[in-house]
Amino acid sequence: MLRNVVVGMSGGVDSAVSAHLLKERGFNVLGVFMRNWDEHDEAGRCSGEQDLKDAEWACQRLQIELRQVNYVKQYWTAVFSQFLEDYQLGLTPNPDILCNKHIKFDLFQRHALDTLQYDAVATGHYARNSRGDYLEQPLERVRLLIPKDTFKDQTFFLSGIAQAALQRTMFPLGGLLKDEVKQLARRIGLRRLAEKRESTGICFVGKRDFKSFISEYISAKPGNFVDVDSGEVVGSHEGIHQWTVGQRCRLSSYLQPYYVAHKEAASNTIYVAAGHEHPALHCKRIHIGAINWLCSESQQQLISQGSLRCRFRFQHTKPLVDCELRADEVLLQEPLRAITPGQYAVFYDDVACLGAARIFHGEPLQQQSAVAMKS
């Protein structure tokens, strides 16, 4: 049975309440604050210093020790550099999934288990672990379960972590709604965190316009917007890194608005489709990379049968869609708009996240131009 737990303290209400719940249940709790982004290099645009102060305040109120770890260099190498490289290649990455995979549930967890010699780590993610508080189940039986608060469900962002990491991870908020967490925070004297504005979006971008942010790291590289139907140039852009699939281009002098259908890094061309519901923006077949499995039973079923019926999403706020998963592709039951290369296909059954794979590209319902839509 787990006794000693390191809680990743972020300075927010979720991690603070997680630490309280564990301590209340008799665990020996140590708080650790992770510094992943050097906000001083960005003129204080990230809220790291304030988050640290809030984490210190919460730990004082909870009467638990707080320590710090610095992963700024590792974050830059494993997450941010990959983020920039992907954008230059015309892909749209997900830094939250990369951060969980490489930093929180790898470096941080190994520090907690190997260096600090604690039994497990806990975070304020809204998710559940089928193992609960014990280590008696074999590794292949541990599953990443959907939490009670399906609106706040964060299993999407945890889908890229190693399955073995779940064996030593606890999610104390899995059985609570967000409102219940805030109410509990107020009752135990953490009102300040309950009323703290939650951070949204990518931390290192902050409140800045994304195009302004990305231009600080990637130089402009002008190219053309090309109509997928006619093959004609309909405008110009300052770089494929500034645009993502499905985004409106706001080109003037055209009756219908144009949307990004496909990006070609080699020619620096963005192919666009006229109309929000253009067939070039929708697809049912998605080509994917290697699957990171969190459920060995589903993995074995795919291997033995060649396919797996499950559910799919590529954005954490979108409804789940039925699909047939194969070794290197996904066949959707119904077409979806703006399937985005570089993002992640995340798979579910009725109760758990099964795993994830990176999206290479989706096949549009109607390939309007063989030249424009080549992959």
CB 249 within 8 A of CB 238: no
Neighbour count for residue 142 (Cβ, 10 Å): 23
Instruction: List the one residue out of 101, 111, 112 whose CA is nearest residue 162.
Output: 101
Instruction: List the one residue out of 352, 354, 351, 350 whose CA is nearest residue 301.
Output: 354
CA angle 255, 259, 260 (to 5 degrees): 145
- Residue 167 dihedral angles phi and psi, to the nearest 5°: -60, -25
CB 142 within 8 A of CB 163: yes
Spatial neighbors of 358 by CB under 8 A, at least 6 apart, are 288, 289, 342, 343, 344, 345
The b-or-e profile of 270-303 (16+ CB within 10 A means b, else e) is bbbbbeeebbbbbbbbbbbeebbbbbbebbebbe
Instruction: List the one residue out of 31, 12, 40 whose CA is nearest residue 204.
Output: 40
Give the integer Cα–Cα distance in Å for 337 and 315: 11
Give the integer Cα–Cα distance in Å for 283 and 114: 45
Among all residues, which ones are annotated catalytic? Answer: 99, 203
Place of tokens 């942010």: 213
Helical residues (DSSP H) of the chain, grouped into ranges: 13-24, 48-62, 72-75, 81-88, 95-99, 108-110, 155-158, 178-187, 191-194, 210-215, 296-305
